[in-house]
Amino acid sequence: MPNIVKEMADSAVALAKGFATTFKEMLGPTVTENYPIEPVHFEDRYRGVHVLRRDENGLEKCVACFLCAAACPANCIHIEAAENTGDHRISAAERYAEVYNIDYNRCIFCGYCVEACPCDAITHGHDFEIAAYDTNTLVYRKEQLLQPLPAATVSSPK
């Protein structure tokens, strides 16, 4: 009998704590973001659309090691590798990703591909507006994912 009374008291305390939290939030100020008018404020850890990064020389960081595709639980990354040549350099390594596709119909934004990449070539960006009526447009190609080339610095004459 004493166990039942103790359980009832513990349940009442738990309910009181829950209701207190609810009422505190109800009486607090409302936070509203005016999304289309003002920019959205993301946390640093937000996982948006992927970005293929470049190094400081403007070359692609991806060396087509296939570790991101192997780590992906949704199997949404497709890579085809090609060899770099002396006159046609895409990346600093021997190979580069000739084809790099991510199918956002299947992607669960888990971040395993980012963690698996040994050369920090793929990261999550802050782009989130990828809704589409046609599912074929949700397969992002390398050109869509690749970070833009850094703007050439123009030196002004003295």
Residue range 73-100, pLDDT digits in tens? 999 999 999 999 888 899 989 999 999 9
The whole-number average pLDDT for the span 44-63 is 93
pLDDT digits over 99-155, tens only?
A: 999 999 999 999 999 999 999 999 999 888 899 999 999 999 999 999 988 776 444
Q: 100 has which bridge partners?
A: 79
Q: Comparing C-alpha atoms, which of 42, 48, 70 is closest to residue 123?
A: 48
Q: How far is residue 47's CA from residue 111's CA, in Å, rounded to a whole number?
A: 7
Quick check: helix, strand or coil at residue 102? Answer: strand
Q: Which pLDDT does position 152 carry in this prediction?
A: 61
The answer to whether 49 touches 128, Cβ cutoff 8 Å, is: yes
Q: What is the pTM of this model?
A: 0.73
**What pLDDT score does 155 carry?**
47
As a whole number of angstroms, the distance between CA 135 and CA 131 comes to 9
* pLDDT greater than 80 at residue 17: yes
Task: Count the Cβ atoms, other than its own, within 10 Å of residue 112.
Answer: 17
CA 130 to mean position of chain CA atoms: 12
